[in-house]
Chains A and B, each alone.
Chain A
Amino acid sequence: MSDSTVTEIFSHELPATPWDPAKKEIERAKIQVAMIGLCGCWGCNLSLLDIDEAILGLLEKVTITRASFTDLKRIPHRCAIGFIEGGVANEENIEVLEHYRENCDILISVGACAVWGGTPAMRNMIPLEECLSEAYIDSPTAVPGAKKVIPFHQDIPKITTRVYPCHEVVKMDYFIPGCPPDGAAILKVLDDLVNGREVDLPKAINRYD
């Protein structure tokens, strides 16, 4: 995907305000947690935020390195727990998921898309060629007479033949269904892991929709 003639800078390589060393030490001693979205709607990431003040009880023990409020593309250092939203629908999703698998001890599929493909996977019942044709070539909004183009650029990740659940690409350790799962479900799993309990999502908060 990369082109040697172009200099690419990732967001995590940009200059950043240095940490207060004392605070950094405290945070680094905690359990590192990260969350990222692949092919999803970001709703599951919002569910993490929806935990609201209930997260406070855990902040003694955990710190969140990457989530909606820290817009990093890479995990800055190894994490204990990684939450993945969304399924795998393009080349970049594969790369990101690989990066998380390599850098997280425990990886968790969060939400319908990560768990089984979800709504984006509705395209799996239709050949990719047909999908792309409908979207770009024979689209009702296509400009008549214009050159037929399917967007292709080195900065646009190539779409995969079909949408894959995360666990068909890398090993996933736990699954939280839901569209999106309730913040309480994510918190429960996190709380179990942080406190060394066997992960158990009770029936009352397990939802597929």
Chain B
Amino acid sequence: MRIHITLDGQSVITREGDMLVDVAASNGVYIPTLCYVRGKPCLGTCRTCSVRVNGNIMAACTIPVSDGMEVEVNEPEVTDMRKALVELLFSEGNHNCPSCEKSGRCELQAVGYEVGMMVSRFPYKFTPRTRDYASNALWLERDRCIFCQRCVEMIRDKETGQKIFSIESRGTQATIEIDVELANRMPPEQVREAAELCPVGCIIEKSLGFNDPIGKRKFEIKSIRERALERVDK
């Protein structure tokens, strides 16, 4: 059904039930996301896509649009909230961009630039986290995990459908885990898929390292904003 919503004051005709984050992108309004993957079930974990819907703050990846919806994206207060959420992630983990293989290809970093982060307003926590090198083709650099749950929900063993990645424990104690046996059965293309799906440099393909030169890296060629907006048009 064709419906009509208001997006930052602009009247937009769209289809009922489409996800707000996609509707906004189709209309040239970029909303940063970290856990959301277009076409996959929404995870709603990072909250970075928070916008104001009919006066309430909501995660745009979790909201199907409905007629008459009033949406504010680039309004100062909610813009600052999105920035604050990105800053929370930078202070929670140990995000040492200069030493990270994913730098330049990292969605968290790219979104950091988009929201204009210079520093985190929250105290940097420097939580000790251990690495996991046990599987053959992948390793986990847990310092960088943002618990988006993309790998947990979207990467499954081809044969059994079982989870390869999982979350252990809860809250501040939570850790990302990898099932070594299942991981060692992953075909090379699935290994690459997992490493690329990870929005940060937590799931890293072994023996690859810093494979693109500075200036030629993914988000230097085309920013995350351009990619988000362009993908919708196609």
Where the two chains meet, the residues of A that have a C-beta atom closer than 8 Å to any C-beta of B are 109, 112, 115-119, 121-122, 124-126, 162, 165, 167-168, 174-177, 179, 201, 203, 206, 208-209
Contact = CB atoms under 8 A, between A and B. Distances in A.
What does DSSP make chain A's interface, helix, strand, loop or mixed?
A: mixed
B124 interface: yes
A44 B1 CA distance: 56
B157 interface: no
A119 B124 contact: no
Interface of B: 90-91, 94-100, 103-104, 109, 112-114, 116-120, 123-124, 126-129, 143, 214, 223
A125 B103 contact: no
A188 B127 CA distance: 34
B113 A118 contact: no
A175 B118 contact: yes
B124 A121 contact: yes
Given A208-B112, A209-B98, A116 B120 contact: yes
- By Cβ-Cβ distance, the 5 closest A-B pairs, closest first, are A124-B126, A179-B98, A208-B97, A175-B118, A175-B119
A116 B92 CA distance: 12
A121 B126 contact: yes
A177 to B, nearest CB: 6
Contact of B104 (A115, A116, A162, A209): A209
Nearest to B126: A124
A125 B119 contact: no
B118 A177 contact: yes
Nearest to B114: A203
A207 to B, nearest CB: 8
A162 B94 CA distance: 15
Contacts of B223: 203
Nearest to A199: B118
Q: Most chain-B Cβ atoms within 10 A of its Cβ — which of A109, A119, A176, A208? A: A208
Contacts of B98: 112, 118-119, 179, 208-209
A117 B126 contact: yes
Contacts of B118: 115, 174-177, 201, 206
Nearest to B112: A208
Contacts of B90: 116
Contacts of B116: 201, 203, 206
